[in-house]
Structure 1
Amino acid sequence: MLANAFVLGSSTGFNGGDILFQLVMFIVLLALIKKFAWGPLMGIMQEREQHIASEIESAEKSRVEANKLLDETRAELKASRQEAQSIIENAKKIGDDQKNEIIAAARAEAERLKESAKMEIDQQKEQALAAVREQVASLSVLIASKVIEKELSAADQEKLINEYIKEAGEER
């Protein structure tokens, strides 16, 4: 039983050498990890952090520039709209002026044509009256010569006048 207890005692007892060996191995392992894994890993993390920081800075610069361009574009658009409105108003004014000029010219031309037509009508009226006077004078002379040739009764005279008026109407 003693042998049994020795085997049992050695397996359940405190073994400082193993613990010390494991502790030394753990420290060596930590030193190796720090030198070969932790250092490069931290270098990569710092590079990543710097890359992200530069990307954020670049994005911020781009955002500021985009806002500046947007403001400039809005200002140009506003100026363009104002210029377009000015052009439209100017074109409307010119159009109204031209319309008024055309209307005034048309009225003046219509008045001129009206006056010209009145003058022409008056001239034709005068010519027609002169022609009627001539015909009346020639008819009067003709009637007088016929009356002188023969003496007629009142009924014959009226018949003769009507015939000559009829003849004069056919000559026209």
Structure 2
Amino acid sequence: MHFSFTSLVLALIAFLILYFLLNKYAFGPLFSVMEKRRELVLQQINEASQTREQAVAYVEEQKQALQDARKEAYDIIEQSRQTSTKQTEQLLEQAKSEAARIKEEAVRDIQNEKNKAVEALRSELGSASVKIASKLLEKEVSSDAAQEELVDQYLKEVGGRS
């Protein structure tokens, strides 16, 4: 194996020319393509990260909206429950007042009918008393026993008419 200095210099010059040509025409575009590819991958990673963050934020927003909707539905149900309770209380109060009013009217009507009956009875009793007195005067009964018999007889007649 023989080593020649000239071949080494020529190989070295050829290598440097090749390196210069490769660097100018091959490595530059190749590194530029690789750099663009690296930037594209980084950009896609960043976009994926942003998309993931947006998705997480959207999910949180949807959770919050769902929670708000549930709270609103619960509030509506509570308000409906309170309204129905108030309406029930109002209806019960109206029914009680109506029942009290009807009861008062019935008591008043009963009292009026009672007063009318008492008045009619008094009138009837008054006329019966007058008739008894007139019969007593007509007969001018002298004994107490005869007067009592006459009163009993007239009361039987009056009792028989009723």
Residue 94 of structure 1, aligned match among 59, 64, 79: 79
| 159 and 124 in structure 1: CA distance in 2 versus 1, 3 angstrom threshold | closer
TM-score by length of 2: 0.60
Q: 1 CA distance for matches of 2:83 and 2:30?
A: 77
SS in 1 for 2:46: helix
Among 61, 64, 80, the residue aligned to 2:49? 64
How big is the shift at 1:128?
0.8
* CA gap 1:113/1:159 in 2 versus in 1, 3 angstroms: closer
What is the CA deviation profile of residues 101-143 of structure 1, one whole-angstrom value per residue up to 9, with x for unaligned ones?
2222222222222122111110010001111122222233344
The reply to whether residue 117 of structure 1 matches residue 102 of structure 2 is: yes
**Letter aligned with residue 97 of structure 1:** Q
Q: TM-score, with normalisation over the residues of structure 1? A: 0.57
1:50-61 mapped onto 2 (5 Å cutoff) = 50-61=35-46
The count of corresponding residues between Structure 1 and Structure 2 is 129
Structure of larger gyration radius: 1
Unaligned runs of 5+ in 2: 1-16, 140-149
Residue 38 of structure 1 deviates from its aligned partner by 9.7
Hey, what's the Cα distance between the residues in 2 that align with 1:77 and 1:126?
72
RMSD between aligned residues: 3.5
What is the match of residue 126 of structure 2?
A: 141
Residues 112 and 146 of structure 1: CA distance in aligned 2, closer, same or farther (over 3 Å): same
Call closer, same or farther: CA 1:159–1:99 in 2, change over 3 Å.
closer
Q: Within 5 A, what are the aligned runs for 1:4-153?
A: 40=25, 43-145=28-130, 148=134
Percent identity among equivalent residues? Answer: 9
Question: Which has the bigger relative contact order, CA under 8 A and spacing at least 6?
Answer: 1
Unaligned 5+ runs, structure 1: 1-30, 163-172
